[in-house]
A and B are shown apart, each in its own frame.
Chain A
């Protein structure tokens, strides 16, 4: 609270009551049964970080293999598994769960002034499903049966005839499993964002980070079914002899690609939009100026997601689809540039308008803008069809999407880790080391990925486990490998800084950077109930409205909007954010974990083709859902 030191006895009594109502069990049991969005966010954070480590080791293995021609670190079989799992990990097990599961979970309710997500137990379930799906796919890799047809897994290569082991089944079932988790999480975000905003937070006062999360969640809900259908077709064909992708039986190999990319391209925006959201959180704070063209930026975030659904065939420009189709998708792909340029200029102009303080989080955003512009410009080049057909499936593409995924998505994540670290831990990170870690990471990223443009133009195809001497690729590949190790050192410095600061950092207080959004209006770390008084919002940057926040302290004394009767959070109207009703929230429960475990067993049994056992566990899962609902809170 902004005015903790002047709390009166009645306020202290109310806080004590809230503490008792919202308290969760201590220790390990508390973590296993938690429904607190902040704890679930932390579970996501550490899990995705572990997967990031695994994906990073895979990247280093590949870079070591490719550091010189005719390398012998990995054979083709291992290389293909490592390459595929690197892609699958970084997209499905790191970036998306990190931005939605960790950042989104932790921050969205805080930014909205809510006490939790709309469906806290569903939130816990989505974490356990995510954990199960990640472990399932990694079990494949450790059994030397990891997915090995690349992350977009083209047929016929992925059909039983060319890939007879369980490798592709680990991929297909793992991703179907993973989509359940993402779907559940996305639905939860949509409802939370539309219904649980603090009184007064009409849509036009909603933080831009939340707009980005809304766009991401809607995209996930629309895009994921296409992937799931594709994977179900694939499994039906692999397991039960269906012919969806067989030309000889009236199927089509391109059907896989269309369904995959109808999901796969929106996926790219699902990856970068939260990063945009993080940038629009960090920039106003350190520039000490609200975002320029705020409504335009909000609209641009939604537009990126929307147009993103009309561009999928640009991944298929070399497949011989008709020229009319090519030209249509090229035009749509160029259109998606506009909402991106709006945001880029809004960010840079906001920095110019304010008096920016270049602390580590803002440095990471600067790096993000530079990398995003490079990746965006090379992206525009792919909308020039003849150039796309010259360079697609080469290292030029690898360079392009790593500038986007690593430069434009991971840099804001890293900046965001520094930015919200004081909020989550209550301690400050070490600023000089943080700055050094930025420059090291920046240099490593540039050295790793920039030469890939050149080596791609020199004709190096992507996804080769080795290459021959004499093609002019050797020096570039070596520099990429050196860059990858510098980048690793930079990342280790970041995590070392955060780990050290977690125990040794000076206390941060509730609002060390004078942030404008509501997460800074509560203590660091926030209590289980987030806000003792549900804040009332009158602008897009409510924490800069000092009078409103002082009013909160008065309301606490008076007992207005404290909701101390039970496990309660307010719900508001969808558009204008008028206070609508008070919701009784569920408390901690074993059911999400139980259901998550049961569903994990179902997928393991499907993988092993024990369909009867899978059915039995399916029935148990239905029973578990029954138990879950018996424990629902009563209507308030």
Chain B
């Protein structure tokens, strides 16, 4: 029932719909523990049922007295749990733990830095100029070493179909393994309460075939494309002459703010505001006109502009591909 809820790949955050070696180990661990738990619950439910069914007869069903009852308590309450727990401990906390751990610096082919912000994810590719937000692209079948930190409060990085989660803690970089077997889109979401918009701090992980990934990364590392139409040029002027540039970076322009997400290639992203809106012209305008209505409490203020300026700004941002 649970596995069926995942649907076919992408769009869900199902722990039990593993799309990587590591997550498959964790899902297997769950199914085995669930089986054990069902047996454990069954035994106690049976004892309770027997207690009820035999309510007019005392002593144990096999006629045992006080001594047998004590032996039963010691056997089921001490001996059996010790064996079961020791087995579970060795399997899960030694073997599964090891095989789902972050790759060592030597063995990894790739490192990605993720910085949590209230309320978006900043994504950097060390060794390149590429910076993006709320979208992580990885090549398939590559053990990526993801290093997580935070710019403000504690967040938690979690892409359920790919691996366990790790908290992003001030001054305490944490690492986690990120890998995907197949090309696809895997949804992730912040899972440590981080304030007003904790609920709207989601991300996509896109796993692409390696050559497609390389092309994407090469484009991401480039500075922003220059505006081509009159409206886009007007949009760029509006961006530069208002508060926008204080908070956002558009590489290749004067906008070098570090508070909001990097917008150099905003046009390539699929969503806005950490998966709150789809990325299209209408949604972009809606967002620009009143960010506090779309995502109450977020850090982006409403910047009062004329209708034509909003349109031009949206056209410019959409052109940043």
By a beta-carbon cutoff of 8 Å, the part of chain A in contact with chain B is 75-77, 80, 149-150, 154, 156-157, 162, 247-248, 252-254, 287, 289, 292-293, 296, 318-320, 323, 326-327, 330-331, 334, 337-338, 341-346, 348-358, 366, 369-370, 373-374, 377-378, 380-381, 383-387, 389-394, 454, 457-468, 470-472
Contact = CB atoms under 8 A, between A and B. Distances in A.
Contact of B156 (A156, A318, A342): A318
Contact of A393 (B54, B81, B156): B156
Interface of B: 1-2, 5-7, 11-16, 23, 25-26, 29-30, 33, 37, 40-41, 44-45, 47-48, 50-52, 54-61, 66, 69-70, 72-74, 76-78, 80-82, 85, 88-89, 92-94, 96-97, 100-101, 118, 152-154, 156, 158, 160, 164-167, 169-172, 174-175, 187, 189-199, 202, 275, 296-297
A247 B56 contact: no
Given A292-B66, A392-B165, A156 B153 contact: yes
A464 B97 contact: no
Contact of A385 (B51, B93, B118, B167): B93
Nearest to A381: B33
Contacts of B89: 330-331, 334, 383
Contacts of B15: 390-391, 457-459
Contacts of A337: 81, 85
B88 A342 contact: no
A458 B297 CA distance: 27
B15 to A, nearest CB: 5
B165 to A, nearest CB: 5
A253 B2 contact: no
Contact of A351 (B51, B56, B85, B191): B51
Contact of B25 (A149, A353, A386, A454): A386
Nearest to B61: A352
11 contacts: A150-B193, A154-B153, A247-B172, A292-B69, A320-B172, A323-B97, A377-B40, A383-B93, A387-B33, A389-B166, A454-B1
Given A387-B29, A454-B5, A472-B7, A353 B93 contact: no
A357 B69 CA distance: 19
Contacts of B54: 352
A467 B12 CA distance: 13
A353 B153 contact: no
Contacts of A342: 73-74, 77-78
Given A384-B88, A465-B199, A390 B164 contact: yes
Question: Per DSSP, are chain B's interface residues mostly helix, strand or loop, or mixed?
Answer: mixed
A386 B21 CA distance: 13
B191 A252 contact: no
B37 to A, nearest CB: 4
Contact of B93 (A77, A326, A458): A326
A252 to B, nearest CB: 7
B73 A296 contact: yes
A471 B12 contact: yes
Contacts of B33: 380-381, 384, 387
B194 to A, nearest CB: 6
B72 A458 contact: no
B198 A463 contact: yes
A394 B165 CA distance: 11
A23 to B, nearest CB: 45
B128 to A, nearest CB: 26
B205 to A, nearest CB: 13
Contacts of A338: 77-78, 81-82
B97 A385 contact: yes
Contacts of B29: 384, 386-387
B44 A352 contact: no
B78 A377 contact: no
Nearest to A378: B37
B41 to A, nearest CB: 6
Closest 8 CB pairs of A and B: A459-B13, A247-B171, A389-B164, A384-B92, A320-B174, A464-B199, A351-B51, A342-B77
B153 A341 contact: no
A75 B202 CA distance: 19
A343 B76 CA distance: 11
B177 to A, nearest CB: 11
A353 B195 contact: no
B154 A154 contact: yes
A343 B73 CA distance: 8
A101 B62 CA distance: 43
Contacts of B7: 472
Contacts of B296: 75-77
Given A162-B153, A384-B29, A457-B14, 8 more contacts: A154-B192, A292-B70, A318-B166, A346-B73, A353-B60, A366-B52, A386-B25, A470-B11
A319 B41 CA distance: 31
Contacts of A162: 118, 152-153, 195
Contact of B14 (A351, A385, A459): A459
A594 B182 CA distance: 70
Given A342-B73, A457-B2, A472-B12, A390 B56 contact: no
A157 B155 CA distance: 10
Contacts of B72: 345, 349
Contacts of B169: 253-254, 319-320
Contacts of B1: 454
Nearest to B45: A370
Contacts of A344: 44, 77
A458 B192 contact: no
Contact of A358 (B26, B52, B82, B152): B52
A74 B78 CA distance: 47
Contacts of A156: 152-154, 170
Given A247-B171, A472-B7, A356 B73 contact: no
A253 B7 CA distance: 39
Nearest to B168: A320
A141 B15 CA distance: 36
Contacts of A319: 167, 169, 172, 174
Nearest to A342: B77
A355 B191 CA distance: 49
Contacts of B77: 338, 341-346
A88 to B, nearest CB: 14
A330 B96 CA distance: 14
Given A76-B297, A353-B69, A461-B191, A318 B165 contact: yes
Contacts of A253: 154, 169-172
